[in-house]
Amino acid sequence: MPRKIDLSEKINQLRSFHEAEGRAPSYAEMAELFGYRSKNAVYGPVNKLLELGYLDKSTNGRLTLTAKITAATKLLGSVQAGFPSPAEEELVDTINLDQYLVRRPEATYLLTVSGESMIEAGIQPGDLVLVEKGGVPKQNDIVVAQIDGEWTLKYFGKDATGVYLDPANANYTRMRPERSLSIGGIVKAVVRKYDK
C-alpha cells in the first residue's frame, strides 16, 4: 500500500523556501527540503501539487510556484455586509493581491492620494490608487489626468462641449482643459490601510 503524502507539510515547506529564496526549488532542493534521499521520490508529491494547482510548469519545463503557494493571504470565504448571518471560518483558497488586482503588471503603478476632491467616491487622502496606463477611459471612469500641466485624480466625462473632469466632492467644480489634457491611466482599485 503506497504511503500517504502529507501535502500540507510540503506546501508549508515550499512557502518557507519561497520566502527565503524568492523562487521555486529545483528537484534536488525539493528532495532535501522534503527529507527524501533521491530526486525520484519527489515526483509523486510534485505531480499531486501540479494536479491541485500549487505548482505549474513553465514553457521550458521548469517548475514554478503558483499564487496558492506564493500568496501570503488566506481567503476564508465571504462575509455578509447587510444583516448578520451564521458563518464558519473555512479556508477557500489563498490569494495574491497582485494577481487579484493587477491585470497588466507592466502598465500598472500605485499613487498615494492627497487632497479631498474624490472623498464622495470613497477615495480619502492617504489611500493608494492602483492605476493602469494605456486604456481608453469610458464615461465616469476615475482617471489620473494631466490637465493644463497639472496632475489630478477625477471622474472622466464627455459631453457636447468636449471632455471634462469631475470631482467627487461638492466643494470642487468641474474642470475643462483650456490648453491640454492627457490621461495618465485609469484607476482600477483603491487600497486603504486603517492603522496608518
Report pLDDT digits (tens) over 156-186. 999 999 999 999 999 999 999 999 999 999 9
DSSP structure class, residue 149: T
Q: Give the sign of the dihedral formed by CA 37, CA 38, CA 41, CA 42.
A: positive
- Annotated active-site residue 38? The verdict is no
Model's pTM, two decimal places? 0.60
For the ranges 55-69, 109-123, 152-166, the lowest mean pLDDT is seen at 55-69
State the catalytic residue, choosing from 8, 48, 117, 182: 117
Residue 88's pLDDT is 56
* Beta-carbon contacts of residue 50 (< 8 Å; ≥ 6 apart): 56, 57
Nearest Cα neighbor of 185 from 109, 79, 125 is 109
Answer with the residue of higher pLDDT: 77 or 134.
134
pLDDT band of residue 1 (cuts 50, 70, 90) is very low
Mean pLDDT of the region 3-25: 81
Q: For the chain, what is the radius of gyration of the CA atoms? A: 24
- Annotated active-site residue 117? The verdict is yes
CA–CA separation, 180 vs 162, rounded Å?
A: 12
Mean pLDDT of the region 89-95: 58
Tell the burial category of 134 from Cβ atoms under 10 Å away from its Cβ (0-12, 13-18, 19+). Answer: exposed
State the catalytic residue, choosing from 8, 48, 74, 154: 154
Residue 75's pLDDT is 58
Phi-psi label, residue 134: left if phi above 0, alpha if psi -120 to 50, beta otherwise: left
